[in-house]
Structure 1
Amino acid sequence: MAGRPKIFDKQQAIEKATEVFRNKGYDIASADELLDAMGIGKGSFYLAFKGGKQELYVRSICQFAENFSQKMTQSIENSEDQIQFIKQLFLHLADPKDCHVERGCYLGNALVQLSEKDEAIKKITAELLKGLQEIFAKAIKKAQRNGQLKTKEDAQILAWHLTNLWNGIHVTRRMEISPTILHSLIEMNLRLLE
């Protein structure tokens, strides 16, 4: 006789699964590794995630994206110099060792890995990029009003440039791991924020 499904905290279980996806990638993460990390059995898993591994991954990205956007918004709003904060955020992307610190790597990898394979993930990642663009645009507009930025470029376009840079640098880092090259590339792009 099968036991009753285990009651568990879905949000916490998704966080644990996120670590597996983040470290292994969607394709390589096995069901056993995910179940082990989440601390649940197959019965509980399929009751909670009827769409299986793919549903778990989509929910993982959603939860992670929401947390990432909240932390990003708070960090930028709480910084004394929002433009300097944004510049440092990007410059940290030049060091592959900082991927575990920056945590946005998971989202960048999701954009690259699956956004074209699955419509739900494509929609989530598009919303994430739009949200990131809005965070950047708000900071740029504020800096332009306060005279921190000399540029008269449209804040929305500058914000899309930064969003494109954030997205692109995650792709480039998969091929080029030299911190020197990545740092130079990022600095060149950030010259628009002067």
Structure 2
Amino acid sequence: MGRPKQFDPDVAVGKAMDVFWRKGYAATTPQDLVDELGIGKGSLYNAFGSKHALFERALERYRDTQSLALVELLDQPGPVRPLLRSAMELLIETDLGPSGRRGCFAVNTATELGGRDEVSTGLVQRMFERTEGAFREAVERGQRTGEFAPDRDADAAASLLLATLVGMRVIARAQGGRERLGRIVDAALAAL
């Protein structure tokens, strides 16, 4: 009798994230996951418990990598406005890049499962809150350095930037178009 195939759960979560991101939660079947991960259904369920539990882990992985990258970019020294532009342009390149127009995994999850799946909705909310918090800190830093008006409501500016970011990611997925997305970035930064 052969030994069961060994696999790295961390690698499996990354591969599962790609499947869920590409297809969405509902359209991803357990067989899709088994095929992508190269393991049996029994191993899938023994390691992760359920399709939904694996989805949660994938969404957490996305949150930890994508949100952290944005926060780190905005935390760099230097003028804030160019950092905000770089962050938004990086997301444009990500959304229109070689992996195809699959949008933002969190935004996709919000539109597919928001309000119907408490756990997934909570994960997305916390990701949006982290992103909005990073924007707020950047705006406040820009106010301290004189880049932005000191009487500007930093919370409102951060909410505007988050809404802009989410909207851009939906537009990128549906239509693409660097020129249109660039105009959106220009308008959002001009509002600061």
Q: TM bucket by the smaller chain?
A: 0.7 to 0.9
- Within-5 A mapping of 1:144-159: 144-150=143-149, 152-159=151-158
- In structure 1, how many angstroms separate the alpha carbons of the residues matched to 2:120 and 2:44? 20
1:8-46 Cα shifts (integer Å, max 9, x gaps): 322221011111122222233332221222232111111
- 2:134 and 2:172 mapped to 1: Cα distance? 23
Match of 1:188 in 2: 187
Deviation of the 1:104 alpha carbon: 7.0
4+ aligned runs moved over 4 Å, structure 1: 3-7, 92-96, 99-104
**Residues in 1 aligned to 2:27 and 2:172: alpha-carbon distance in whole angstroms:** 20
1:177 aligned partner: 176
Structure 2 Cα separation of the partners of residues 13 and 93 of structure 1: 25
From the superposition, tell whether residues 99 and 154 of structure 1 become closer, same or farther in structure 2 (CA, over 3 Å): farther
| Count of paired positions | 191
TM-score normalised by L of structure 2: 0.83
After superposing the two structures, state which structure 1 stretch, 183-192 or 156-165, moved more. Answer: 183-192
Q: Distance in 2 between matches of 1:101 and 1:151?
A: 40
Identical counterparts, % of pairs = 28
Q: Which residue is equivalent to 1:82?
A: 80
User: Equivalent residue for 1:40?
Assistant: 39
CA distance in 2, matches of 1:97, 1:175: 11
Aligned to 2:13: 14
1:23-34 matched pairs, under 5 angstroms: 23-34=22-33
Q: Which amino acid aligns with 1:53?
A: K
Deviation string, structure 1 residues 58-99 (Cα, Å, up to 9, x no partner): 211012102222222222223533321212332455565238
Gapped runs of 5+ residues in structure 1? none
The alpha-carbon deviation at position 178 of structure 1 amounts to 3.6
What aligned pairs does 1:23-172 form with structure 2 within 5 A after superposition? Answer: 23-50=22-49, 52-93=50-91, 96-98=95-97, 100=99, 105-150=104-149, 152-172=151-171
Q: CA 1:181–1:102 in 2, change beyond 3 Å: closer, same or farther?
A: closer
Aligned to 1:40, the other structure's residue is in SS state coil
Q: Which runs of 5 or more residues in structure 2 are unaligned? A: none
CA distance in 2, matches of 1:63, 1:92: 19
TM-score by length of 1: 0.83
